[in-house]
Chain A
């Protein structure tokens, strides 16, 4: 078998990915691709990225053996890759640092970003402050209401938060608006996309920046456990934390790759965000991928308790990994995720993000079916402090 080398030079992962944008953006994307392909191999760029990840983010993030929880479940051992311990509390910062360093080298003094729950917005505002750049974050007006704390965090960091009133007023509309800003201000502006979606080179570039997760895990597993895990489990909205963990393992055929989507109120209802489990291929936000859409090709509003998974598309590389059978995708409901959230709090003293709780919930189902010597590595992609209001509300409390 040939080593995995996707995307090809047109940005395709099998039939997925590509550059599906208006002519007005083509030259900006071409410029970005060229610059990225130069700097990713530039020793000085690589050294600065590594330095920032170590000293600013606090990497490497440890792998933690959740012994008490594993014992309680009575099957495979559950290991957690602690991305929740990163500065700003999630994996998002790995990517925003990479893109901000590139933006500086391209001479762009203004960065823009889209955000749903606010995590990527906070990570973008953080690096903009760190490097002294202007930052504008687009956020659906519905999300602005739901995520007031993160809106304030971004403002404290000096960013301008623009509520987006069009369409469903959520993440997908924020992405549309950020694209519109970029096409208008492309000369001085760098668009920091927060996940492995969008037109080429974004899915490749974001994956490469997030691959630090999997690269560290490979070394740490050998050091701490003398072997690689039997399966990797990660939540998938756009899919950047999952790809970051999977990518270095794609050629290791005996490591299962399991992506966990948001089943919301159930995948047989119309209130979920399980794109790969229920969607059909189409074109949105610059790439061909699976989409949640109606029979006329209009994009449908999605639902998840976790805003970070509440997106009607998915990264094109996941679409390909699904079709070629390398990765498998399952779905976890709001209720199951919420239960996993509480369980991890009580058994391990770790409060996970609701996004990551989907991966945990699947691990809790899967582990008991396996013998005790199997190892499941779950990407704990973010911490749950941001979700306390949501969890309290679901439990009938107001804070």
Chain B
């Protein structure tokens, strides 16, 4: 009887695993199948053609995504790591509790709300959608993830390592910046990369901030295209060729995110 229950539980668990894996596999296979057929060199090099004309590409969206994600990372990483260092190394008492709570709240805020927030404080005063607004929204979404990951990584650095550096006559700030952060670097980088992977696929906040652009722009105070928004608008359009291009864009985005995840894996592997 006991053996029977044992087998039963094992079977249920195995089936669940298979189900999860097959859903994931289906999605990836579906995207790959459609994406591989849809993708071509034009997709990466050409601008979108006017409505009705076949062909063209999404170079505007690709460049736009790269610019805005990079900018978001540049804004959020210093702030997040700074906050994380404060929380882990100096943050004791009431203020730290508040900061930690706010970070938690921020992590739970739906991304569309952040989009509306940035729309209110940046887009409306500027009277224009812009890349900078988009990047700002993405940065805000990124912050809690990076703060959490970094704080966790810093906390995992053994206390004796800090003490060892102190015992050599190092001031505390140097210990933190040179030894503690260094020791936690691979975990911090992993956290940052995962956060980048997450914002690379965000659509909702960009709809209210960067909007989109049919042309390739590199100035930051103009509306800018991005892959997720482009996918969204092409996918809901009635044109077959746009559908094809949406598949191609989805495919590239998934590959990008997959690569980031794999490289994070690689980081942890080499560490241990």
Answer yes or no: do A and B interact: no
Interface residues of B (CB under 8 A from A): none
